[in-house]
Chains A and B, each alone.
Chain A
Amino acid sequence: MKNKWQLVNFSFHAMGSPCHAQFYAPNKKIAQRAKNEIRRCLEPLEQRYSRYRDNSLISQVNRSAGKGKATDIDAETAALLAYAQQCYEGSDGLFDVTSGILRRIWSLDKTTLPTEVEIAPLLPLIGWDKVEWSEKSLYLPLAGMQLDFGGIVKEYAADSVSQLLQQMGITSGLIELGGDIKVIGPQPNGEGWPVAIRDPRAPDKLIVQLYLKSGALTSSGDYERFQLIDGVRYSHLLNPKTGMPVSGLQGVSVISEHCVIAGSVATIAMLKAEQGLGWLKENEVTFFCCTSDGKIEKNM
């Protein structure tokens, strides 16, 4: 029965990145329905959590910061906040969804590091523990505070799409959203899907080719995105406690059951800079890492 199924390749754009879905569908009708369902799943997530959309839920919450009135939220948003809480606690406060405002003073086209003067007014507006939230409402108490789910939503979307396709009966395939990969199920012959991690020292080369039968692979993508200042590589990630961009690990790739977990763990490892490698090992994570001096470390 399975060998009649057709391989479907579907490239599209979502969440500000190029995306790709590859899966086996029993017939054209289901293949088309799957494509429609993928868009129907991703569109509302973007609607609600994109800070680029003025009328998104996140933008509403950010606009109401310090104004005295909390915003009503639904169960999904509450669950995302709860997840952000776990990331905050598990990273000793380094993974902080309120740290997005630091983007104002650091981007990868800057040639100098942020100064004390630039950082000082922003630090008091950062801090997950300041956010007032419950299962039903969300409020940012200081004007200027901002929430940014950028580090969670794309990975969550990959998991959601995978779950959706599984519920439709699709058991073989994978979904990739901007480099974050979630496997729906192994290839029909039982083999895993080939996925690759690039060598950060030579971006055209692949350092590792893996065959994933299940689970997710994400990379805290600093193999390509970094800024060199005085010979030190700084990533686009910022430390919410100091306001400075992190430097330490060149890149981290993590394999976990869910994309949202792989993504958070990879990001937290990067935020921990030099301690990131030790932290990954301590938590028995399946990872692939390139340290600041170009050494490759892994636990796979």
Chain B
Amino acid sequence: MKNLSLKIIGILTVLVSLSACTPVKPWERGNLALPQMALETDAHEAALRIHAFHSKEGSSGGYGGGGGGCGCN
């Protein structure tokens, strides 16, 4: 893929500069604790969907939790 390295550097710069983020005061953390704010709101459904996509596509990874292989066709 052309310009791949440029894209990666661009994204890394954004991530690094995010470390200068607004500090969250203790009383403000309420919003982040809401159930709809969890990174994974439904682990079981997510695992099912990821497995479905993975068995029909040529890619996998990114989510962690290796899990078992299968002989899916």
Contacts and interface: CB of A to CB of B under 8 A. Distances in A.
Contacts of B23: 134-135
A85 interface: yes
A156 B26 CA distance: 17
B27 A135 contact: no
Q: What bracket does the count of chain A residues touching chain B fall in?
A: under 10
B25 interface: yes
A86 B26 contact: no
Interface stretch (A76-84, A120-128, A228-236, A263-271): A76-84
Interface string A81-124: 01101100000000000000000000000000000000000000
Interface string A269-290: 0000000000000000000000
A16 to B, nearest CB: 28
A83 B27 CA distance: 8
Contacts, number: 13
A79 B27 CA distance: 8
A162 to B, nearest CB: 21
Contacts of A134: 23
Contacts of B25: 82, 85, 135
A78 B27 contact: no
A134 B24 CA distance: 10
Contacts of A135: 23, 25-26
Interface string B2-44: 0000000000000000000001011100000000000000000
Interface in A194-240: none
B20 to A, nearest CB: 15
Nearest to A83: B27
Contacts of A78: 26
A141 B23 CA distance: 21
A202 to B, nearest CB: 41
Contacts of A79: 26
Contacts of B26: 78-79, 82, 135
A134 B26 CA distance: 10
A91 to B, nearest CB: 15
Contacts of B27: 82-83, 85-86
A78 B23 CA distance: 13
Contacts of A86: 27
A222 to B, nearest CB: 29
A86 B27 CA distance: 9
A155 B44 CA distance: 44
Interface in A52-84: 78-79, 82-83
Interface in A250-269: none
Interface string A118-147: 000000000000000011000000000000
Nearest to B28: A82
A83 B26 CA distance: 9
A257 to B, nearest CB: 16
B32 to A, nearest CB: 15
A74 B26 CA distance: 13
Given A82-B26, A85-B25, A135-B23, 10 more contacts: A78-B26, A79-B26, A82-B25, A82-B27, A83-B27, A85-B27, A86-B27, A134-B23, A135-B25, A135-B26
6 contacts: A78-B26, A82-B25, A82-B27, A83-B27, A85-B27, A135-B23
Lowest 8 A-B CB distances belong to which pairs? A82-B27, A82-B26, A79-B26, A82-B25, A86-B27, A78-B26, A135-B26, A134-B23
Interface of B: 23, 25-27
